[in-house]
Structure 1
């Protein structure tokens, strides 16, 4: 009896012990679950200042610290940070706006925007046509200006006022329309100029394009052409079928593709000229497919071109009328809007093109310093708040008044006095006055 009683007590104690053990284990589990676990901290990301580039083709080194990150990436490029979080990523060229992404061990992501400032070097340039470059004596005269330190840039035509492309472009529409030529060898020209330490800005005459306009009109694309009220090609002082329709997606793509091709060939910059509507009464023109105002459409064309051209390595600029600073509607050039999407604007300030009394200058053609200086004040005001520079086109030709070293130099001096340090000289015959340009 006693033995059975002892066994029963032992069994009861064991059962009670098991229950107590289970209760204690449950309490430990519950208490453990109720305690806050150590939170996983997302990585921290800090970028070091990135020096300004002088070209969209310059390589860029991005440095920083990403504490707690297992990977830092910019686009398709990625690295593993060092133990202290430091990292470096080398980009092949100055990027358009992009983002640095740091990823932590638990998958947490932290981002930081990356924008590399591109500060273009000074530009002192002369205009050179495709045929002038192909003709040895004219080419040598331009190169002599560079050898003497009078210029540091050559503006070389890509597509001219006739719509012809100076080199053998591979853009499909250029070839189909017959616009591509072999007047000069673009890679060879660029190498020669770059070997001399010169920059090259390629000029694309955008919407004045009689070659493409005529081809489009006769090949089933009338909507590619600006039309009059009767649905026929709009005739202007530039010809019966001279202006393509800036609202046409195909026309916009064509001029963008030419610029991207030029940038990839090695042109340092692309300047759009005739980036406007024809002058004349707006009521007499039709722009098939236009869904916004002409000035907005022109500015948005620059917006759409900017990033592809930058990404291909070149700057973007536009030649604009001098009157656009005060009368933008006359040719659909809204200067503040265009400046937002340009590295620089190049106002054509030729004294011979101003009316008497403009900016209170009695005779602009006889007062080149005064008209250039005063008109630049308006361009400074219109581009304020943007990053666009102003580099004016100046007159080195005679029209009504004989122009020589003194008249050309007066315009350059006025540009400097207005606070700008660069210029483009225009002479359709590609003949310039060296004495106007001080060696530097």
Structure 2
């Protein structure tokens, strides 16, 4: 079990975002994971998913209880795309709006607080200006919202939560500090802020509430976790903490966010990497797939075929088997979440609309209409009728049937 968890935490280093932001990171991950171990990990977890069930309890001791109330029962079945703030505020938006007008795609996930921590539009909110920093890629946010409404595009605000270099630099006490008092950064130069901090929680919820006032219907939280490999440095870094486990702190934030946003009629969704549905909880980074899913309206596992190594779901090259890979990941997702009963959230995965050429010759397929439609077919065959397309440059494949 320790080996399994170690591999999972290693996987989180490359999979902890909504997409392949760093293709070379995924390539390193592919090279570093032992194929035989991964095959064993999946085999072990596909045979009952390591359940130890007591009377009235499921995995993780969670008891299915009252039905979660959807704050937006009239929301459409979302089929969306990821849109950077740069695209949303620039000329590429013309092409993206046209794409949605011509197809059954109906939603956009737009960066409102991005991966560095910038608020991507001009805000006059004193709380947000005090802690954060605006980088107005979206020059006229109100005009953007009017445009989305005119074209009947369902607006989802992406808010990157605990990966926040801007907040960490402005307020080191809200981050993780080294022994000399300087803010810790990961290998990519990014800093995280402390999930134990209620001030960090409220800052991100304030951003979400402002997005709601602007007209966004849903808030999608990303990087809802501690830094990858945190368990290796948890005792050497300086930060405020309580007696709560990292898993409980992260799931409590999600529950708090939902409680704050539901009265506004706003749905809450969370991104989580695809491996999470197939392996035990990643206690090092504080993510438990079931506990997080219990507290959201929508869960969005990132199940890009390119992010699975050889042997997953019986495929020697998962990237070349989009139907097989997506089908296997969704079957695992249902198994993991069925115990929640009526609290089971909508499953709306991120799927792949990019070519993972960094995997090297023979290890990837060129993704186009066929590969994307195979992923969609796999979703349909596993009773999943919502999805999001990821392409970091926002160049989406034309001619795809989005049924």
State the TM-score, normalizing by the size of structure 1: 0.68
Distance 2:135 2:207 in 1: 13
**Equivalent in the alignment of 1:269:** 218
Change (3 A) 1:215 1:145: same
**Equivalent in the alignment of 1:135:** 90
| Residue from 254, 258, 273 that aligns with 2:207 | 258
**Equivalent in the alignment of 1:320:** 272
Q: Is the 8 A contact 2:123 2:129 kept in 1?
A: yes
Compute the displacement of 1:268 (Å). Answer: 0.7
| Residue from 233, 236, 240 that aligns with 2:186 | 236
**Equivalent in the alignment of 1:288:** 240
Unaligned runs of 5+ in 2: 1-67, 358-363
Does 2:328 correspond to 1:374? yes
What is the 5 A alignment of 1:332-351? Answer: 332-351=286-305
Does 2:347 correspond to 1:390? yes
Q: Is the 8 A contact 1:164 1:179 kept in 2?
A: yes
Q: Is the 8 A contact 1:168 1:181 kept in 2?
A: yes
Does 2:92 correspond to 1:126? no
Larger RCO: Structure 1 or Structure 2 (Cα < 8 Å, ≥ 6 residues apart)? 2
| Residue from 123, 126, 150 that aligns with 1:195 | 150
Unaligned runs of 5+ in 1: 1-113
Distance 1:277 1:115 in 2: 29
More strand by share: 1
Distance 1:226 1:383 in 2: 33
Distance 1:315 1:177 in 2: 25
Does 2:98 correspond to 1:144? yes
RMSD, aligned α-carbons: 2.2
Change (3 A) 1:267 1:118: closer
Q: Is the 8 A contact 2:131 2:203 kept in 1?
A: no
Change (3 A) 1:263 1:244: same
**Equivalent in the alignment of 1:226:** 176
What is the 5 A alignment of 1:292-311? Answer: 292-311=244-263
More helix by share: 2
Distance 2:69 2:118 in 1: 36
| Residue from 319, 322, 329 that aligns with 1:365 | 319
* Higher alpha-carbon deviation: 328-337 or 297-306: 328-337
What is the 5 A alignment of 1:155-234? Answer: 155-184=109-138, 185-217=140-172, 222=173, 224-227=174-177, 232-234=182-184
Distance 1:429 1:205 in 2: 18
Count matched residues. 320
State the TM-score, normalizing by the size of structure 2: 0.74
**Residue-by-residue CA offset, 1:152-198 (whole Å, 9 max, x unaligned):** 11111111111111112344343124522332222211111112111
Q: Is the 8 A contact 1:229 1:284 kept in 2?
A: no
**Residue-by-residue CA offset, 1:329-367 (whole Å, 9 max, x unaligned):** 153221211112100100001111112112333211111
Tell me, what secondary structure is at the counterpart of 1:406? helix
Compute the displacement of 1:271 (Å). Answer: 0.2
